[in-house]
């Protein structure tokens, strides 16, 4: 499946990166695996830049959790990891 004849006729002047992006677009457009599409959508969402407002809110939430004692100390984390190795 070709997205556009323009891309076919101009493939030689596309950079390697541009050609790879077109190849991925064509592959994605033809993709039928709903679970893979959902996984790709989740991956994309996880790669989105966070706004400064959302970033600051995350920091404030983390500070509140720490003040409430809702955290794991380094020593506790090390102890938990060592227990995983013993299993």
* Domains: count for the chain: 1
Q: How many helices, marked H, and strands, marked E, lie in the chain?
A: 5, 0
Average pLDDT over residues 20-36: 95
Q: Which domain holds residue 60?
A: 5-86
Model confidence pTM above 0.75: no
- Among 11-15, 43-47, 53-57, 77-81, the minimum mean pLDDT is found in 11-15
Q: Give the tens place of pLDDT for each residue, 60-86.
A: 999 999 999 999 999 999 999 999 998
What is the rounded CA–CA span in Å between residue 43 and residue 24? 15
- Among 16-20, 32-36, 64-68, 77-81, the minimum mean pLDDT is found in 16-20
């Amino acid at each position: 499946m070709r997205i556009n004849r323009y891309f076919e006729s101009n493939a030689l002047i596309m950079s390697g990166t541009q050609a790879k992006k077109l190849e991925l677009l064509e592959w994605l457009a033809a993709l039928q695996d709903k679970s893979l599409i959902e996984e790709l959508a989740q991956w994309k969402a996880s790669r989105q830049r966070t706004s400064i407002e959302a970033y600051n809110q995350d920091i404030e939430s983390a500070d509140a959790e720490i003040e409430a004692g809702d955290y794991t100390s380094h020593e506790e984390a090390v102890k938990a990891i060592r227990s995983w190795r013993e299993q």
